Structure 1
Amino acid sequence: MPTIKKLLRGRFPMLTVFTGAVLAFSAYRFYYPDDAASGLEAAPGLEVKVFAAEPLLLNPTNIDIDEKGRVWVCEAINYRPVQNPANPKRPEGDRILILEDNDGDGRADKQKVFYQGNDVNAALGICVLGNKAIVSVSPNVFIFTDTDGDDKADKKELLFTGIDGEQHDHAVHAFSFGPDGKLYFNFGNEGKNIKDKNGEPLKDRLGNVIADNGKPYRQGMVFRCNMDGSDIEVLGNNFRNNYEVAVDSYGTLWQSDNDDDGNRGVRINYVMQYGNYGYQDEMTGAGWRAPRANMETEIPLRHWHLNDPGVVPNLLQTGAGSPTGILLYEGDLLPEVFRNQVIHSDAGPNVVRAYPVKPDGAGYKAELVNILTTKDDKWFRPSDVGIAPDGSLIVADWYDPGVGGHRMQDVNKGRLFRVAPPGTPYKVPAPDLKSAEGALHALNSPNLATRYLGWTKLNSLGKKAEKVLARQFQTDANPRFRARACWLLSKLEAKKAKKYIGLAVADANADIRITGLRAAMELKMDVNPLLNKLASDPSPQVRREVAVQLRFNTTAEAPAIWTRLANQYDGNDRWYLEALGIGAGLQWDKCFNTWYQQTDRNMAKKATRDITWRARTPAAMALLPGLISDPLVPAAELPRYFRAFDFYPESPGKQLLLTGLLNGGGARNTQINMLALAQISPESAGQPQVQAALQQVLEANKGKIEFIEMVNRFKIRNQDAGLLNMALTQPSSPIGMEAAKSLLAGNPDLLEKNINGSDESATAIFTALGTFGDLKTLKWMETVSTNPARNMRVRQSAIKTMGMSRTGEDRILAMVKKKNMEPGLQQASASVLFRASRPAIREEAAQYITNPSKEGKPLAPIDKLAVLSGNAVNGKAVFAASCLVCHKVNTAGSLFGPELSEIGNKLPKIALYDAILNPSAGISFGYEGYVVKLKNGTTVEGIIASETNDKLDVRFPGGAVISYPKADVVSKSLSGSSPMPSNLQQGMTQQELVDLVEYLTTLKKVGN
């Protein structure tokens, strides 16, 4: 033990006490690798043991497990070097490792380096298929081949290239082998594009270039392709960071997707083929915060545009997290609850979960069941999970205090855990591929690498494998084994393939019927006889699949088949409705018109209204006013029909329909007028019916944000008194800020008059306008701050609000450099300049003024702070004073930075201190600061809330969002630093900082 202790002290100089299972550091508690499993808790009927740990592996980003039970690991020492400059680097590049348990004791005892190089730095995916390994590392996807069996890569080839997001977690992820013999993979919303190995842009089956450009795809995508990368298809789009895709034996796809951090919107998706998943506005690309009709009340739902026609629903929303690897467990070693279910690692809340599903109409519903959680080790960061050939789970742990934002604080650790029933030995017999029977046994393995070998062998045998495959397909009690055999039987010569597909679509099991139809579609058979047969299937899930598979069917029969499906929609099943939308998506005119001619057209039926709402054809748009005007249609539904208008291009006919909806008084008519005016062109403002409706809506919405929206939209100037009142009485709220901004654009003289009036009015207006950085506003503030006739408190307020913008910081620094500033203004200037996000500002300011400190002494180092106990009650007060302007906790605060309602689940104290004291070291994706330069000379800094072809929405501290026409924007660029002040702690004592962190650790999700 003294030798181990000496070694550990050499690697971890902060070590103070060694107690066996736990190492107590001055900064944190750390489980010694041999006892790391004692910090974790497995589900009932399972135990967790260490399979491998440092120094055998470090920082595992992704794993795969081969047919021998060996674990292949992507390491990430060279992760985001710009963001992590203090971390040691590996000049020779990162490694792809093979870890092997030679003696069967369940612990890896041998390490091999399959490949090492800077071209695989921080690879995010590995898929092992025989003697090949597919490695995903943007901008490339490589195929490494071991040609001589020595477990070393002898050949490196490109499969794909041109994928954006190099060294970005939202880039290309791991590949997976499907039951149809194809590859499945995905990339997050930094992937952007994909090109073939020669650098040529790839196109979908309709000739669209596959790119995040809205034509038609947006953001993250999931793909299917042949083994050589040909015939690539986009199977779903508009995800944020869909981190891996899992495919079950029926060919059904499952994914997780991460939200904008802090919004408690992490989701699990059943990927209905060709669907849109709603991270951005499908038509404009606007972000989820952008105002729209029928906007969801809850932010986790709003985040995915779930009320929009054309968005596939989520299977499950899991709250806050940092989701990573995912798989479909089709083994029988784990307890029953986990069999045939999605299993998923979520690094943020330190958990590996399953999501047992049940059919729910045409889709599914699910619950959360934990498999592996932490007891007290908050460094447990499960980055991936894999299935060994024996059915046990291997969990990769990128052991680190933080997660997300491209930040990594430790490069010396990394673990693999094995999860299995207690006492289960790690025995992995070699697959027998010499016979069809042996290959069939391999095909039925829970391990994909083994399954691939069995599939490949059986496929190569062709008709020689028919007998064993037919037996399994027709008699096996396990429907997933039957489905695997069905896929291979469909690869036989055409006559036999048709025979087995016919048997599949007539099967008693709905999932086998679905498998048969999917196999027929991939073979490009004449599927109309099958679609006609299955269009009346008793299973809504089978009918869903028929609808989806109509998407590219341009035959004359297709609209009639679609109509039969539509007539079976019950008005309650959103999965079914979206399947209808996917199926009709490329020929809405034909499908809708055929359906409308054959239905009873009874708009009292919700099913009829829903299909009209979901459609994208002029015939359906023409019906929307009738729905809106019908008094029998519930008022709660009206916003959704107005939202449907947004999915049609602008035209005189559309505007005519909208203006025709304007009507008289009453609550319902006022609601209709409000919704219609939000979409009617401002050029129509002179029409009498528009004027009358405007007056009615303004009167009904005085003091509300809707009032300001109408004033701005129609450039109304006779309501300035109301705007001024909002700005003066609510200067810190989004309403007051928007009111002041409206006056700044339309009646700046009124603002200036009030600034030159009372001190209270000036302070309120400065507060309302402070974040915007407008040159005219800054001039007013500078004039007041330098006017000795004004009260010093007002002058200091002017300085502090000037400092809320980048341009304002520059002006304050220029004032300071004149060296004639009064002491009271120097103090206010220092409080601004020494909290600036730009180091150059802080450094230059130090040459002219003194850096203020509440205690006048430096803080203790982070490792010392992290062991101090604070008072959470006092910390809550500190948070309210210093943090609520930018962060939200439950219902309090504003949405500028990430919501922190569950931050205590995600980060231990050491990481919380690091986030506060070093905010630019790890910036959550989507919360980067941008510098926006405008044609009028103004430079503003904020977070990009939304961007479309026409406008740029910038979010400022306090939560206010300003829309800038793209025509007025000269440039936008990353600021390179966090919008969070770098010296936030200077406004508090060390104990207040400790109390603040103590409070943050209490912010946790209750339950799973």
Structure 2
Amino acid sequence: MKYRWLALIPALLLTTTAATSFVSAQTEHDSKQAVPNLTVAPGLQATLFSSEPQISSPSSMDVDSQGRVWICEVVNYRASLRDITTRKEGDRILILEDTNGDGKADKTTVFYQGNDVNGSQGICVLGNKVIVAASPNVFLFTDENNDGKADKKELLFKIAGGEHDHSAHTSIFGPDGKLYWNFGNSGKQVFDAAGKPILESNGKPVLDNGKPYWGGMVFRCNLDGSDFEVLGHNFRNNYEITVDSFGTLWQSDNDDDGNRGVRINYVMEFGNYGYLDQLTGARWKTPRTGMHEEIPLRHWHLRDPGVIPNLLQTGAGSPTGICVYEGSLLPKKYQGEVIHSDAGPNVVRAYPVKKDGAGYEAEIANIITSEQDKWFRPSDVCIAPDGSLFVADWYDPGVGGHRIGDQERGRIFRIAPADAKYVFDKLDLSTVEGAIAGIKNPNLARRYLAWNKLHALQEQALPLLEELYQSDNQRNRARALWLLAGIKGKTGEYVSRAIQDKNSDIRITGLRAARRYKQDVIPYVSQLVNDPSPQVRRECAIALHHNKSPEAPALWVKLADQYDGKDRWYLEALGIGMDEQEQKFLTAWLKQAGDDWNTPVGRDLIWRSKIPMAVPYLVKIIEDPNTEQDALPRYFRTLDFIPGKEKNTAVAELALLKEPENKTRETYIIAEAISRMPAKVVMQDSKYKQALTQVIDSSRGTPEFIKLVEKFKASDYYPELVAIAGHAGKSQTSVDAIRAALSLKQNALIRKSLENKADTEKEQNQKLDLIWALGSAGHNGANGILLKIITNKEDLLVDRREAVRAIAKSRPGAHALLDLAEKKDFDPQLKQTVAAAMSSTIMKDVKERAARLYPAPPTKDNKPLPPINVLASIKGDKLDGRVMFNTKGTCAKCHIVNGMGKEVGPNLSEIGKKLSREALFESILFPSAGISHNYESYTVILLSGNVVNGLLVNKTDDAITIRDAEAISRTFKMDDVDEIIQQKISLMPADLQKVLTQEELVNIVEYLTTLKQAQPIKKASR
């Protein structure tokens, strides 16, 4: 355990209360309480299959054909990041076996141990071969003599992203005989064992660079790694992929922590899933036209053309293992459904789905929860040969995020109806009948062995496979179909039979089998193109992806004609079908539609195409008075994805739009259009300048006003920029305005504003806000203005102190301040202000220099804090903690709770659901021990010598945006950047306790534990 040193503390040092609480905490986390602490759904019972000391920290699990449980045990999780190696010999891959039939593991075998599998995030058992994802490697182990020990280790794939839990995850054997797996957004690129880049059939590398792929990806390949395909991309941290018997893919994806955007996806093949802007690679926080107001929906770029909808959004969480339950032991409501573990909210859920047009809709059905013990961290779920559900519990006070709080405990649970013993027949592959029984089994390891046996038998297996195909169980029929279509010479026969089946899922499986076995899909799509099922037609569209047949455009047109103008799943399938052939396919549809193109269907097809030939149609849609104003952002947004002179000409035309009947609509269109035009073009033409003036005048006081004045150098409005900086309070708008004024070299105007006498309290506060904005702007031009205020003894002391705090935010400014502090004539009235400003800096050179002048102050009450477990045992006052959180300037300064606070670090609205009390204390006292992904601190060094520290909001080839500790974002052109350094320490101060007493700290944590429910999410709109 992370705090095992506590055992060395003499008992006499503990108070009676602390000692009692310590014992109570130990009892609470005892494995004897593991099952009682669970709440299990009706009709099911949990039993403890294994626990500590037999195992600890299981991150991933599989159940083999013999019913043995394999786990990746990761006590060395992120050891290289934490500079701590708990087990010097390395992490282990264990086999847990119940040899006496009592439902509990009584035998443990170490299959493999080594530092090369530290922090493994995936295991897949395929007979005597085992695939282990231990980024940056995906290994293939072989047990050549079946003794439960790895005899051979081979490299299957190499991942570019290094050791990270946003990298490679579990592999799974598909019903088509293929291997499915994925990596998260740290994966970056896939290489083969020899280090050569993996290429798809089109010759493109599997690379996260936007050409065309971004972020996390889903893959399909042969078991030897050949015939590699990317099936989906632009995920954040898609932890595990699963596939059902029909070949349908399901997956979860984690949001940027704290944004309540965790999602479950039906993975439509070849789709873009919207984590990053497909055009620029920008993150979801970057403003864009038409984005959702609600962050959980805005998070996935759901309104951008080419983004697949989410099946379900589940709020806050840390999603982990997933499977499809295709057994019959569990109650019927779970049969055929996705089952998923989410370690954050301590829950294992099912997601019963219903078909919804070309896609699906889902609901949530909890299987296991744990309100009593928040250390329950379900990390994986698997199906055993008897149909029971196994759940791996990493058991930890926190949830990943590069930290581990408990390295001694871990549990494996078996979930089944009461009195359902863990018994099943032995797999017999010596006969065709035995192999058929294996292919019908819900356990994937058995199905792998049976599939390979039946596939090898070819026509010898045909009679019994045919019998299975004629059965009533549709999932067994699908499994038989994949094998029947794989018999040499029989592919066409069985695909033809399947696409005429009365069951739409079998028709879909037939078409997928045609693709699997490299058949010409055009004849099959021709037969299915008018299928009554939109799901079948969806698969037809996907089958046309990159198909160069001369018949493909006409077939696509027939599919498009059956689009209802509402079903986004269907529209995106059409988009996938015309990918890289948009002009050819859209031309065919427009030729047929003629003058009747301007319908909801036609508008959607044009919006989705994102090609230059769509521009004149988009202009007509925007200019059409029947186009509602609420719909206009959608069409302007798709223009952003279209390159070339056609788009530039179009926005220039729209910038001169005159619509006397609807001035509001006209102004919006002109504003959107002119903001997309080059400044030089606008300022050299009187017509555009007049339009620009109209737009600027109508946008006064808004962020758009600042952007337009800065972009077009509209000098008549410069005084208003400075005025906004003083009138907008301490806000992003204020900073943006003063930064624009500095960039436009309006230093004299700013100085004049600061020299004006403040006659009222309001005017004085506006002056202070302007000084604050100068310090927050990240612009060296501010330092000269601030130094003049600091050294001018005739200025008000309150102004000079604010200037000290402002200038200390930049490296050149801080050193200039220290230069002054070393002079004998430095105003002593500013000494404490300088000391306070220097105490919070994270710039090492500044900190070292300041320490000689201003030694660090002692803790608030001069008392050392007790160990974390003792702190965690103390009951705090949640009401006082709430007041401290919001008024002390410790937490709300950087974190949002239900809309209140500043957005610097993660949103804490549901932190009490995600972190235990111990983990909350650790996050405050040792923030750099586990920095959340995408909340790493960066230092940007500019060519000017200025330095900015903060969180990376966005980075493109042209610019970088950093959000500092006051939630102010600063954007710098890459041409002005000298170096970008990712910090190893958290942006959160490491000495927060110095401003708190122990009681205040405990009260804040008590309050944080109550934060378990944020504001409700509005339903997504189209």
TM-score, normalized by length of structure 1?
A: 0.95
Distance 2:900 2:682 in 1: 38
Distance 1:35 1:344 in 2: 23
Report whether the alignment pairs 1:829 with 2:827.
no
Residue in structure 2 matched with residue 377 of structure 1 by the alignment: 373
Measured on the aligned residues, the alpha-carbon RMSD in Å equals 2.4
Distance 2:220 2:873 in 1: 50
Residue in structure 2 matched with residue 121 of structure 1 by the alignment: 118
Residue in structure 2 matched with residue 407 of structure 1 by the alignment: 403
Cα distance, 1:13 vs. partner? 9.0
3-state SS, counterpart of residue 132 of structure 2: strand
* Amino acid paired to 1:274: F
Distance 1:183 1:940 in 2: 45
Deviates more, 1:447-456 or 1:775-784: 775-784
* Amino acid paired to 1:375: E
3-state SS, counterpart of residue 718 of structure 1: helix
Superimposed CA distance per residue, residues 785-812 of structure 1 (whole angstroms, 9 cap, x where no aligned partner): 3444333332322222334445545555
Superimposed CA distance per residue, residues 682-729 of structure 1 (whole angstroms, 9 cap, x where no aligned partner): 222222332222222222221111111211222222112222222112
Structure 1 pair 492–632 and aligned structure 2 pair: CA distance change class (3 A):
same
Structure 1 pair 868–628 and aligned structure 2 pair: CA distance change class (3 A):
same
3-state SS, counterpart of residue 113 of structure 2: strand
Structure 1 pair 809–34 and aligned structure 2 pair: CA distance change class (3 A):
farther
Residue in structure 1 matched with residue 73 of structure 2 by the alignment: 75
Where do 5+ consecutive residues of structure 2 fail to align? 758-763, 1018-1022
* Amino acid paired to 2:641: F
Aligned 8 A contact 2:884 2:1000 in 1: yes
Structure 1 pair 255–909 and aligned structure 2 pair: CA distance change class (3 A):
same
Report whether the alignment pairs 1:916 with 2:921.
no
Of 862, 865, 870, the residue aligned with 2:871 is: 865
Aligned 8 A contact 1:63 1:126 in 2: yes
Report whether the alignment pairs 1:777 with 2:782.
yes
Structure 1 pair 840–451 and aligned structure 2 pair: CA distance change class (3 A):
farther
Residue in structure 1 matched with residue 45 of structure 2 by the alignment: 47
Distance 1:328 1:501 in 2: 25
Deviates more, 1:443-452 or 1:714-723: 714-723
Structure 1 pair 366–805 and aligned structure 2 pair: CA distance change class (3 A):
farther
Cα distance, 1:389 vs. partner? 1.0
Of 254, 263, 269, the residue aligned with 2:259 is: 263
Cα distance, 1:552 vs. partner? 2.0
Of 217, 238, 248, the residue aligned with 1:252 is: 248
Deviates more, 1:366-375 or 1:876-885: 876-885
3-state SS, counterpart of residue 935 of structure 2: coil
Residue in structure 2 matched with residue 482 of structure 1 by the alignment: 477
Aligned 8 A contact 1:31 1:39 in 2: no
Of 740, 764, 767, the residue aligned with 2:769 is: 764
Distance 1:839 1:790 in 2: 31
3-state SS, counterpart of residue 63 of structure 1: strand
Distance 1:131 1:18 in 2: 55
* Amino acid paired to 1:326: I
* Amino acid paired to 2:318: S
* Amino acid paired to 1:572: K
Residue in structure 2 matched with residue 544 of structure 1 by the alignment: 538
Q: How does 1:51-130 map to 2 (within 5 A)?
A: 51-85=49-83, 87-130=84-127
Aligned 8 A contact 1:835 1:982 in 2: no
Cα distance, 1:617 vs. partner? 2.8
Structure 1 pair 416–811 and aligned structure 2 pair: CA distance change class (3 A):
farther
Structure 1 pair 811–594 and aligned structure 2 pair: CA distance change class (3 A):
same
Distance 2:914 2:680 in 1: 50
Structure 1 pair 107–605 and aligned structure 2 pair: CA distance change class (3 A):
same
Distance 1:283 1:804 in 2: 34
Of 594, 612, 615, the residue aligned with 1:618 is: 612
Aligned 8 A contact 1:88 1:411 in 2: no
Residue in structure 2 matched with residue 4 of structure 1 by the alignment: none
Distance 2:820 2:187 in 1: 45
Structure 1 pair 122–507 and aligned structure 2 pair: CA distance change class (3 A):
same
Q: How does 1:317-356 map to 2 (within 5 A)?
A: 317-356=313-352
Residue in structure 2 matched with residue 877 of structure 1 by the alignment: 883
* Amino acid paired to 2:355: P
Distance 2:395 2:811 in 1: 38
Structure 1 pair 366–586 and aligned structure 2 pair: CA distance change class (3 A):
same
Structure 1 pair 93–322 and aligned structure 2 pair: CA distance change class (3 A):
same
* Amino acid paired to 1:341: E
Cα distance, 1:288 vs. partner? 1.2
Cα distance, 1:199 vs. partner? 0.7
Aligned 8 A contact 1:333 1:391 in 2: yes
Residue in structure 1 matched with residue 270 of structure 2 by the alignment: 274
Superimposed CA distance per residue, residues 187-213 of structure 1 (whole angstroms, 9 cap, x where no aligned partner): 001100101111110111211111011
Report whether the alignment pairs 1:658 with 2:664.
no
Distance 1:716 1:877 in 2: 46
Distance 2:540 2:584 in 1: 17
* Amino acid paired to 2:150: A
3-state SS, counterpart of residue 538 of structure 1: coil
Distance 2:363 2:530 in 1: 30
Structure 1 pair 197–530 and aligned structure 2 pair: CA distance change class (3 A):
same
Aligned 8 A contact 1:731 1:737 in 2: no
Residue in structure 1 matched with residue 741 of structure 2 by the alignment: 743
Distance 1:12 1:625 in 2: 75
Q: How does 1:494-505 map to 2 (within 5 A)?
A: 494=489, 496-505=490-499
Superimposed CA distance per residue, residues 145-198 of structure 1 (whole angstroms, 9 cap, x where no aligned partner): 00011110001111111x123321101001000000000000001100101111
Residue in structure 2 matched with residue 639 of structure 1 by the alignment: 633
Structure 1 pair 639–929 and aligned structure 2 pair: CA distance change class (3 A):
same
Distance 1:819 1:468 in 2: 97
Aligned 8 A contact 1:388 1:394 in 2: yes
Residue in structure 1 matched with residue 896 of structure 2 by the alignment: 888
Distance 2:24 2:841 in 1: 31
Of 926, 943, 948, the residue aligned with 2:934 is: 926
Distance 1:431 1:258 in 2: 37
Of 462, 467, 477, the residue aligned with 1:466 is: 462
3-state SS, counterpart of residue 632 of structure 1: coil
Residue in structure 2 matched with residue 293 of structure 1 by the alignment: 289
Distance 1:824 1:424 in 2: 78
Aligned-residue sequence identity (percent) comes to 49
3-state SS, counterpart of residue 413 of structure 2: strand
Cα distance, 1:895 vs. partner? 2.1
Residue in structure 2 matched with residue 154 of structure 1 by the alignment: 151
Q: How does 1:677-716 map to 2 (within 5 A)?
A: 677-686=674-683, 687-716=685-714
Distance 1:239 1:501 in 2: 33
Structure 1 pair 357–874 and aligned structure 2 pair: CA distance change class (3 A):
same
How many matched pairs?
995
3-state SS, counterpart of residue 716 of structure 2: coil
Deviates more, 1:715-724 or 1:483-492: 715-724
Cα distance, 1:367 vs. partner? 0.9
Residue in structure 2 matched with residue 753 of structure 1 by the alignment: 752
Residue in structure 2 matched with residue 525 of structure 1 by the alignment: 519
3-state SS, counterpart of residue 267 of structure 1: strand
Aligned 8 A contact 2:811 2:843 in 1: no
3-state SS, counterpart of residue 516 of structure 1: helix
Distance 2:111 2:140 in 1: 13
Aligned 8 A contact 1:773 1:802 in 2: no
Cα distance, 1:774 vs. partner? 2.6
3-state SS, counterpart of residue 34 of structure 2: helix
Structure 1 pair 691–109 and aligned structure 2 pair: CA distance change class (3 A):
same
Cα distance, 1:260 vs. partner? 0.7
Aligned 8 A contact 2:557 2:585 in 1: yes
Residue in structure 2 matched with residue 3 of structure 1 by the alignment: none
Superimposed CA distance per residue, residues 440-477 of structure 1 (whole angstroms, 9 cap, x where no aligned partner): 11111111101101111111111000001011112x11
Structure 1 pair 580–95 and aligned structure 2 pair: CA distance change class (3 A):
same
3-state SS, counterpart of residue 48 of structure 2: strand
Cα distance, 1:26 vs. partner? 7.5
Distance 2:221 2:416 in 1: 34
* Amino acid paired to 2:677: I
TM-score, normalized by length of structure 2?
A: 0.94
Structure 1 pair 462–796 and aligned structure 2 pair: CA distance change class (3 A):
same
